[in-house]
């Protein structure tokens, strides 16, 4: 499979960071959806097929733990990558609660490292047996 086969939802309230994600991931061929908070992310998930969620921890409205609890019930197989300026120590806690967190990055995140983790998580470039 290739990048253009996948849709990534970015839940991020910082518009400058949204633009960085959109520019770089679109250039890599991904379909990009932007949501400025958790409630908007949930709406997008109900409206469109999403292959991966990249989310900030701290956003207005619905907090990430509330978002993850809903995701765990409604979209339990959706892989999640967290990018946050805080709470890097909660990664194990998220995974212990059964959330499908595949990676945790502290801000500022290197965009190339994030793209590489997205590709790895989605198994892009792997040959099928």
Neighbours of 61 (CB within 10 A): 12
Q: Does the pLDDT at position 103 exceed 60?
A: yes
Of the ranges 25-29, 105-109, 125-129, the best mean pLDDT one = 25-29
More confident residue, 99 or 83: 83
Domain 3-48+55-122 has CATH 3.40.50.300: no
pTM (two decimals): 0.90
Would you state the pLDDT for residue 67?
85
Would you state the pLDDT for residue 68?
85
- CA dist list (Å): 80 to 4, 10, 22, 28, 50: 19, 10, 17, 19, 11
* Tokens (6 digits) for 59: 């956003």
CB under 8 A, 24+ apart: contacts of 13-17: 13/37, 13/56, 13/58, 13/59, 13/60, 14/56, 17/56
More confident residue, 84 or 111: 111
Assign 127 a pLDDT band (cuts: 50, 70, 90): low
Q: Where are the domains of the chain?
A: 3-48+55-122
More confident residue, 63 or 52: 52
């Amino acid at each position: 499979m290739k990048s253009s086969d996948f849709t990534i939802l970015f839940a991020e309230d910082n518009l400058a960071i949204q633009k960085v994600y959109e520019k770089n991931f679109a250039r890599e061929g991904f379909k990009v959806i932007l949501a400025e908070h958790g409630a908007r992310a949930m709406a997008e998930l109900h409206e469109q097929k999403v292959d991966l969620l990249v989310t900030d921890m701290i956003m207005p409205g619905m907090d990430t733990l509330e978002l993850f609890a809903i995701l765990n019930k409604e979209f339990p197989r959706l892989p999640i990558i967290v990018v946050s300026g805080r709470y890097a120590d909660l990664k194990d806690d998220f995974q212990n609660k059964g959330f499908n967190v595949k990676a945790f990055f502290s801000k500022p995140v290197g965009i190339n490292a994030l793209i590489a983790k997205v590709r790895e998580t989605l198994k892009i470039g792997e040959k099928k047996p």
